[in-house]
């Protein structure tokens, strides 16, 4: 099915552009705030809707995806500065022909065990045919947002997706992923490259449908040595960025900012900031703002990086952590510059919605520009 390209003129004007300005490295009157996994299991309204729909039904039904995307925006209106589309990184392996179930964690019954299994993957994935529902969800959500906050599209990074595809689900040991890397380096690179092409098309499709920024989630980057990150994970990430920018430019669309979250890959931050491929680098909680600013030298905007588990610290604990992080990013300045407030990883399921609200209130208080 062909999809019409949407432009800003098709939607209500954006009333809160803090996120976009911060991603461009500009000063903002306060730090834009959003939280990875903000639409999900800690929200009772999400749990309610999940009772009557499977997880992938929620992803695949644009009206449900839009509703779930909007839930945190409604609940935290005025405190939250971005929406992220309700979907999952594992829709890419599905588009490539693999079965993915949520049981309740991801389960792929027929993983890619050896290079010969790569033949089972679809060649030349038709992105509109396989993932058109994501694009419909984006357009519908952007309409329903009515310009309140920008909408972020996303995809998983090739190495993270590769590990799910070869392990058959989550893993603590990465035994199969590492076997691939060390036994079949050439085939590993080939598979990563094939995944990158689908990821790029998914991101391009999301922007064509109305996404105003995109994030790439490399949740397992930290499992690699810096050498293997550079050798295996980085080339397909660079490929996503260059395909994303060139394909959108060819369509006459200005490519929106790309956020890369390479969790645990802090020793590659300098390289990533110098690559020019990413506008924003999202930080996990294992590096201070001060260090990250020095390493990245103002070449990129930064996102992060409160400890996600501070949300279990009660009002005082949350406030202290937010204060610390805000002070780190703002430094000697009067207010934030090129900084997007977020957690260092996703919000976890047992967090109380009112604690998330308090967290957002604290971000607003401690990141606001002084006079
Ligand atoms: O940020 C958002 O709220 C948007 C939606 C979103 C989901 N998953 C919904 C989801 C996003 C951005 C993701 C990304 C994702 N998915 C990542 C990268 C981010 C990260 O946390 O590292 C990863 C590794 C996945 C894979 C995945 N999906 C796992 C490991 C699980 C199970 C464990 C868990 O955290 O819930 C999922 C399921 C999932 N994805 C749920 C949601 C709301 C819960 C599923 C349910 O309702 O049963």
Q: Cα 242 vs. chain centroid, distance in angstroms? A: 18
At 371 the pLDDT is: 74
Q: Is 369 noted as a catalytic residue in this protein?
A: no
CATH number for 242? 3.20.20.210
Yes or no: say if 288 and 328 are a contact pair by the CB < 8 Å rule: yes
Q: What is the pTM of this model?
A: 0.98
At 17 the pLDDT is: 98
- State phi, psi for 223 to the nearest 5 degrees: -80, -15
At 118 the pLDDT is: 98
**Ligand 1 site, residue 90, Cβ cutoff 6 A:** yes
**Ligand 1 site, residue 44, Cβ cutoff 6 A:** no
At 202 the pLDDT is: 98
Mean pLDDT per block of 10 residues along the chain (371 residues) reads: 84 98 98 97 97 98 98 98 98 98 96 98 98 98 98 98 98 97 98 98 98 98 98 98 98 98 98 98 98 98 98 98 98 95 98 98 97 74
CA distances from 268 to 175, 191, 207, 220, 221 (A): 23, 22, 27, 14, 10
User: How far is the centre of ligand 1, averaged over its atoms, from the C-alpha of 157 (Å)?
Assistant: 14
- DSSP structure class, residue 236: H
At 267 the pLDDT is: 98
> Which is catalytic among the residues 30, 37, 142, 194?
37
Yes or no: say if 191 and 241 are a contact pair by the CB < 8 Å rule: no
Q: Does 12 reside within a domain?
A: yes
Residues whose CB is less than 8 angstroms from the CB of residue 186 and which lie 6 or more positions away in sequence, other chains included:
none
Q: Which domain holds residue 58?
A: 8-300
User: How far is the centre of ligand 1, averaged over its atoms, from the C-alpha of 47 (Å)?
Assistant: 14
- H-run or E-run covering 146: none
Q: In whole angstroms, what is the distance from residue 231 CA to residue 160 CA?
A: 15
Q: Does 89 reside within a domain?
A: yes
- H-run or E-run covering 305: strand 301-306
User: How far is the centre of ligand 1, averaged over its atoms, from the C-alpha of 88 (Å)?
Assistant: 6
Q: In whole angstroms, what is the distance from residue 2 CA to residue 180 CA?
A: 37
Domain count, the chain: 1
To test the pocket of ligand 1, the residue of 88, 177, 216 to mutate (highest count of ligand atoms within 8 Å of its CB) is 88
Determine how β-strand 151-156 pairs with β-strand 280-282.
unpaired
Yes or no: say if 306 and 34 are a contact pair by the CB < 8 Å rule: no
**Ligand 1 site, residue 84, Cβ cutoff 6 A:** yes
Q: In whole angstroms, what is the distance from residue 211 CA to residue 270 CA?
A: 28
Q: In whole angstroms, what is the distance from residue 199 CA to residue 332 CA?
A: 39
Q: Does 282 reside within a domain?
A: yes
Q: Is 124 noted as a catalytic residue in this protein?
A: no
Q: In whole angstroms, what is the distance from residue 19 CA to residue 110 CA?
A: 40
Q: Does 37 reside within a domain?
A: yes
Q: Does 333 reside within a domain?
A: no
- Which ligand 1 atom sits nearest the alpha carbon of residue 154? 12
**Ligand 1 site, residue 271, Cβ cutoff 6 A:** no
Residues whose CB is less than 8 angstroms from the CB of residue 291 and which lie 6 or more positions away in sequence, other chains included:
none
């Amino acid at each position: 099915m062909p999809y019409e390209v949407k432009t800003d003129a098709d939607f209500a004007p954006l009333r809160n552009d803090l996120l976009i300005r911060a991603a461009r490295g500009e000063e903002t009157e306060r730090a834009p705030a959003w939280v990875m996994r903000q639409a999900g299991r800690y929200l009772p309204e999400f749990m309610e809707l999940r009772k009557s729909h499977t997880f992938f039904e929620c992803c695949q039904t644009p009206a449900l995806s839009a509703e779930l995307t909007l839930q945190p925006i409604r609940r935290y209106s005025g405190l939250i500065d971005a929406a992220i589309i309700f979907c999952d990184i594992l829709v890419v392996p599905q588009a490539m022909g693999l079965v993915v179930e949520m049981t309740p964690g991801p389960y792929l019954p027929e993983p890619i065990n050896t290079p010969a299994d790569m033949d089972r993957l679809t060649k030349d994935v038709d992105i509109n045919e396989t993932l058109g529902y994501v694009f419909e969800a984006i357009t519908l959500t952007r309409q329903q947002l009515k310009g309140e906050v920008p909408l972020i599209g996303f995809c998983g990074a090739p190495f993270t997706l590769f590990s799910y595809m070869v392990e058959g689900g989550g893993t603590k040991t990465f035994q199969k992923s590492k076997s691939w890397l060390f036994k079949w380096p050439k085939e590993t690179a080939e598979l990563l490259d094939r995944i990158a092409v689908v990821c790029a098309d998914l991101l391009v499709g999301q922007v064509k449908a109305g996404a105003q920024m995109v994030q790439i989630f490399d949740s397992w980057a930290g499992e690699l040595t810096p050498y293997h990150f550079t050798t295996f994970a980085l080339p397909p990430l660079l490929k996503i960025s260059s395909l994303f920018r060139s394909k959108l430019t060819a369509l006459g669309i200005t490519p929106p900012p790309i956020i890369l979250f390479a969790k645990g890959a802090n020793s590659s931050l300098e390289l990533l900031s110098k690559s020019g491929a990413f506008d924003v680098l999202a930080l996990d909680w294992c590096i201070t703002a001060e260090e990250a600013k020095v390493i990245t030298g103002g070449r990129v905007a930064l996102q992060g990086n409160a400890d996600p588990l501070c949300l279990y610290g009660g009002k005082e604990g949350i406030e202290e952590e937010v204060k610390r992080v805000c002070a780190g990013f703002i430094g000697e300045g009067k207010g934030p510059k090129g900084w997007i407030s977020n957690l260092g990883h996703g919000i976890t399921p047992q967090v109380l919605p009112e604690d998330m609200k308090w967290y957002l209130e604290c971000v607003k208080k401690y990141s606001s520009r002084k006079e």
